[in-house]
Amino acid sequence: MEYEEIPRNGDERSTLLAFLDWQRSTLERKCAGLQPDQLRIRSVEPASLSLLGLVRHMADVERGWFRRTLAGEDIDYRYSTDADPDGEFDNVATADVDEAFASWHEECDRADEIISRRALDATGHHRTGTEVSMRWILTHMIEEYSRHNGHADLLRERIDGATGY
């Protein structure tokens, strides 16, 4: 994933999309150059947080908000289930790293397709039944990535001392 400089005076849509792209790229950069075993390293007990878990989680989050909520697709999550709600984080010991990144990229690409065909005021329905606009979803996704990129920053520093974006 590549990103361009975030516009300082763009319209609302281009600004939201640029921030989302930047956040996605940040997670990619936090994982760059690491071996599969390094991506599986957990933060601290009892947490099951790892960079690989974050990638898998964000694949499910992209899928949930854009495909399930906004586009109304009746699809399951990739990694979590009702029986295993934290599966994206918990089940990384033998998870296929290439598959996880391919799934995340696929979900981001699919989300971008959905976004491209809708106005910011377009709405979908959350699993709770609440109507939610694409504007709200984009803002939430920027927040979701921002929070998890903070986790990724700490995980990466723990793994090899790398800091920065």
Q: Which domains does the chain have, with CATH numbers?
A: 14-160 (1.20.120.450)
| Residue among 133, 115, 124, 161 at smallest CA distance from 18 | 115
CB 127 within 8 A of CB 69: yes
Residue 8: per-residue pLDDT: 87
Residues 82-141 pLDDT 10s: 999 999 999 999 999 999 999 999 999 999 999 999 999 999 999 999 999 999 999 999
| Residue among 71, 149, 56 at smallest CA distance from 112 | 71
Model-wide pTM > 0.75: yes
Q: How many beta carbons lie within 10 A of that of residue 154, not counting itself?
A: 15
